[in-house]
C-alpha cells in the first residue's frame, strides 16, 4: 500500500506578501495585488500591469550563495526556508539521504540572460558572467534549495510551463510513495517580469490591460506575476512519529496531456486529469467542497475549464465553491500551482473559500459558483487544484482534511 503523504509546513512569497500567512490573509480579504509594474527596464512594454514583489525581505543568506542565484532561485529558497521552519523539522534529524526537494519553474533564469545580453551587445563586454549557466538552468532553484537547507535526498527541477509547480509536487509525492524519501520540499518559483519574457507574452495578445478578471464576462486576459510557494511533504508515519502538526493530506494527483495543440486547451484533457485525481485520492465528486481553478482570465480558457469541471463533477459541479486566486496574485507561471496550494490547504484549515477578485459581470458560459469578490465560509473536507499548461499538460492535486 502506497504511503500517505501529508503537508506539515508552508512557505510563500509573491506580490500579496512575504510569507504564506500574509499571502493567505490577503486572499481571505479578497485583495488583489495586481497593479502597475515599477520595473523600469520594461520601458516599451505596452501592458505594464502585473503582480510585482515591490521589495524582498531581509534574508541573511551568504553572498557566496546569492551571487550564483537568479531571482527565481532566491524566491524558491525563501519560500522553502519558511516552509521548513513552519514544519518544525530540522534537516539533520532526517536520516541521511531521505529528505529532498522538487521545484517547478516555467521560464527560469531570464534576469541573468538579459543581464548578459546587455553586457555583451550594448556595453561591449567580451564574455558572459561566470555564474551564467548555474543561474539560468531550470534545475537551479532545486539545487539552491538543497544547498541552503542541507537536503541530500532526491533533488531535481521540473518544468512544464504553467503546470510546473503541480508537476513538481506530484513528483515529490511519488518519491515518498515509492519509498525513496521520507520528507520532500516541493513547490514552484518563477520571476517572469523581465523585458524579454514580457515582450513574448505581449506578442500572444493575452495580457489584460487593467487586471485579471477570471470568469467575469468582461475579462480581457491574464496578468503576470512573480513569486514562489513551497510545502514540506512527509509520509504520514514520519510526521506522526515526530508529533508534527499536520496541515492537510495531499491525497491524490491526476496527470494527463491533451496531445492536441501547443497553446489551445481541450476539454477532455483537463476533465480526465480531474477524474484521475479523484480516483487516486479515493474521493467521489461529492466529497469535494472547493476547487481552485486554473482560471487565467482569458476568454477561451475559463469557458473550457468550466466545461471540464462540469464533465468531471456532473451535477455536483453546481454545489462546488470554485475560485481563481490568480485574480489576486496573478499568473506566476511555474509558481502559480504552489501559491494555489496554500489557498487549498488554508481553505481546509479555516473552512473559508478565498474569492475570485475583480469579478464584475456573470458569464453564461462560466455559470458555476465562482465565489465572486467575497470569501465564503463553508466546511472544506477536500479541495482540488487545477493547473493546465501550454503544451497541453494538465496536473491536478487533491487535498483533504486529516
Predicted confidence at residue 322, as pLDDT, reads 99
Predicted confidence at residue 240, as pLDDT, reads 98
For residue 1, pLDDT beyond 80: no
* C-alpha closest to that of 368 among 258, 214, 245: 214
Instruction: Give the whole-angstrom CA distance, residue 265 versus residue 261.
Output: 7
Q: Where are the beta strands (DSSP E) in 218-346?
A: 224-225, 227-235, 248-257, 290-292, 321-323
Please indicate, yes or no, whether the overall pTM of this predicted structure exceeds 0.85. Answer: yes
**Contact at 8 Å (CB) between 155 and 142?**
yes
Length of the chain: 402
Q: What are 203-246's pLDDT values in tens digits?
A: 999 999 999 999 999 999 999 999 999 999 999 999 999 999 99
Predicted confidence at residue 371, as pLDDT, reads 98
Bridging pattern class, strands 227-235 and 248-257: unpaired
Predicted confidence at residue 48, as pLDDT, reads 93
Give the C-alpha distances (Å, rounded to integers) separating 390 from 160, 206, 240, 330: 8, 13, 39, 17
Interval 171-197 mean pLDDT: 97
Helical (H) or strand (E) element with 367: none
Average pLDDT, the chain: 97
- Which are the contacts of 396, defined by CB distance < 8 A and separation ≥ 6? 166, 253, 254, 255, 270, 273, 274, 276, 277, 384, 385, 386, 387
Given the residues 212, 238, 277, 294, the one annotated as active site: 294
Other CB atoms within 10 A of residue 246 CB: 15
Predicted confidence at residue 96, as pLDDT, reads 85
- Which are the contacts of 115, defined by CB distance < 8 A and separation ≥ 6? 129
DSSP 287: G
Given the residues 14, 162, 277, 366, the one annotated as active site: 162
- Go through the domains of the chain in sequence order and give each one's CATH number: 5-241 (3.40.47.10), 252-400 (3.40.47.10)
Predicted confidence at residue 350, as pLDDT, reads 98
Q: Indicate if 97 belongs to the active site.
A: no
Q: What are 14-66's pLDDT values in tens digits?
A: 999 999 999 999 999 999 999 999 988 888 899 999 999 999 999 999 898 99
Instruction: Give the whole-angstrom CA distance, residue 172 versus residue 181.
Output: 9
Given the residues 51, 329, 331, 332, the one annotated as active site: 331
Q: Give exposure, 1-36, as e/b (b: 16+ Cβ within 10 Å).
A: eebbbbbbbbbbbbbbbbbbeebbebbbebebbbbe
Q: Give exposure, 306-341, as e/b (b: 16+ Cβ within 10 Å).
A: bbbbbbbbeebbeebbbbbbbbbbbbbbbbbbbbbb
296 pLDDT band (50/70/90 cuts)? very high
Q: What are 339-372's pLDDT values in tens digits?
A: 999 999 999 999 999 999 999 999 999 999 999 9
284 pLDDT band (50/70/90 cuts)? very high
Q: Indicate if 167 belongs to the active site.
A: no
**Contact at 8 Å (CB) between 27 and 16?**
yes
Q: Indicate if 331 belongs to the active site.
A: yes
Higher per-residue confidence, 3 vs 228: 228
* C-alpha closest to that of 288 among 366, 385, 168: 385
Instruction: Give the whole-angstrom CA distance, residue 21 versus residue 239.
Output: 21
Interval 248-275 mean pLDDT: 97
Share of the chain above pLDDT 70, in %: 100
For residue 311, pLDDT beyond 90: yes
118 pLDDT band (50/70/90 cuts)? confident
Q: What are 51-110's pLDDT values in tens digits?
A: 999 999 999 998 989 999 999 999 999 999 999 999 999 888 898 899 999 999 999 889
Instruction: Give the whole-angstrom CA distance, residue 260 versus residue 272.
Output: 14
- Give the distance from CA 182 to its chain's centroid: 23
Instruction: Give the whole-angstrom CA distance, residue 133 versus residue 2.
Output: 38
Amino acid at each position: 500500500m502506497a504511503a500517505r503523504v501529508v503537508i506539515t509546513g508552508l512557505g510563500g512569497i509573491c506580490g500579496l506578501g512575504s510569507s504564506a500567512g500574509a499571502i493567505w490573509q490577503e486572499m481571505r480579504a479578497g485583495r488583489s495585488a495586481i497593479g502597475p509594474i515599477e520595473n523600469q527596464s520594461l520601458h516599451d512594454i505596452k501592458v505594464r500591469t502585473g503582480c510585482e514583489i515591490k521589495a524582498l525581505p531581509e534574508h541573511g543568506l551568504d553572498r557566496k550563495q546569492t551571487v550564483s542565484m537568479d531571482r527565481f532561485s532566491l524566491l524558491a529558497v525563501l519560500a522553502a526556508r519558511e516552509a521548513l521552519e513552519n514544519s518544525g523539522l530540522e534537516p539533520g534529524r532526517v536520516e541521511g539521504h531521505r529528505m529532498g526537494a522538487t521545484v517547478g519553474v516555467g521560464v527560469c533564469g531570464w534576469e541573468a540572460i538579459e543581464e548578459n545580453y546587455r553586457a555583451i551587445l550594448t556595453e561591449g563586454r567580451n564574455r558572459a558572467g561566470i555564474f551564467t549557466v548555474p543561474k539560468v538552468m531550470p534545475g537551479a532553484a532545486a539545487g539552491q534549495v538543497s544547498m541552503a537547507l542541507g537536503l541530500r535526498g532526491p533533488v531535481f527541477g521540473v518544468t512544464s510551463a504553467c503546470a510546473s509547480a503541480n508537476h513538481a509536487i506530484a513528483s515529490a509525492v511519488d518519491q515518498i510513495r515509492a519509498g525513496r524519501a521520507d520528507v520532500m520540499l516541493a513547490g514552484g518559483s518563477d520571476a517572469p517580469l523581465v523585458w524579454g519574457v514580457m515582450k513574448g507574452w505581449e506578442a500572444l495578445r493575452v495580457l489584460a490591460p487593467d487586471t485579471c478578471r477570471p470568469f467575469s464576462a468582461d475579462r480581457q486576459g491574464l496578468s503576470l506575476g512573480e513569486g514562489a510557494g513551497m510545502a514540506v511533504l512527509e509520509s504520514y508515519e514520519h510526521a506522526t512519529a515526530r508529533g508534527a502538526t499536520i496541515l492537510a493530506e495531499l491525497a491524490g494527483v491526476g496527470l494527463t496531456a491533451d496531445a492536441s495543440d501547443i497553446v489551445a486547451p481541450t476539454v477532455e484533457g483537463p476533465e480526465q486529469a480531474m477524474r484521475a485525481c479523484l480516483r487516486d485520492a479515493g474521493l467521489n465528486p461529492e466529497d469535494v467542497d472547493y476547487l481552485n481553478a486554473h482560471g487565467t482570465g482569458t476568454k477561451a480558457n475559463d469557458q473550457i475549464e468550466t466545461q471540464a469541471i462540469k464533465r468531471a463533477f456532473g451535477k455536483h459541479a453546481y454545489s462546488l465553491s470554485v475560485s481563481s486566486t490568480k485574480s489576486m496574485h496573478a499568473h506566476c507561471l511555474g509558481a502559480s500551482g504552489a501559491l494555489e496550494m496554500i489557498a487549498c490547504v488554508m481553505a481546509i484549515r479555516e473552512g473559508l473559500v478565498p474569492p475570485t477578485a475583480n469579478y464584475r459581470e456573470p458569464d453564461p458560459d462560466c455559470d458555476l459558483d465562482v465565489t465572486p469578490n467575497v470569501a465564503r465560509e463553508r466546511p472544506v473536507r477536500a479541495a482540488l487544484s487545477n493547473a493546465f499548461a501550454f503544451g497541453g499538460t494538465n496536473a491536478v492535486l487533491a487535498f483533504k482534511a486529516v
